[in-house]
Amino acid sequence: MSETPSDQERRQHRRYPLAAGIQFHHGPSRREIHARSVDISAGGMRMCVPATAPVSPGQPLRVHMGGICRPELAGMGDKPISATIVRVDRSGLITTGQLTIGVRFVAA
């Protein structure tokens, strides 16, 4: 998922690289799924999930991140964050065996 200049212009929040192990509760399947974050912003996150994760756009998640070492996003890892899947990219399945998903954080 490469960004084009128009993607960058549409973004409301600056993205920061964040390579960390996380886990999330997938509402529809009622499963806890381990994932790896790629980048994060105040409005959402991109992460890699196992190919077997039953993810689809529009599904709700509760993301558990633990402490985030980014001063710009301090406090985000203190408690689970509600989110909605907005994008599922299957192009990495052949090379990495993982899906890349984009989630939007839901305002509490």
pTM: 0.81
Rounded distance between C-alpha atoms, residue 57 and residue 16, angstroms: 23
pLDDT grade for 77, boundaries at 50, 70 and 90? low
27 closest CA partner among 77, 62, 64: 62
Domains of the chain: 5-105 (2.40.10.220)
Is the predicted pLDDT of residue 22 greater than 80, yes or no?
Answer: yes
User: How much is the average pLDDT of 2-11?
Assistant: 55
Residues 88-104 pLDDT 10s: 999 888 888 899 999 99
Residue 21 to residues 48, 80, 108, Cα–Cα distance (Å): 10, 14, 24
Q: How many residues does the chain have?
A: 108
Rounded distance between C-alpha atoms, residue 24 and residue 81, angstroms: 9
Rounded distance between C-alpha atoms, residue 56 and residue 14, angstroms: 25
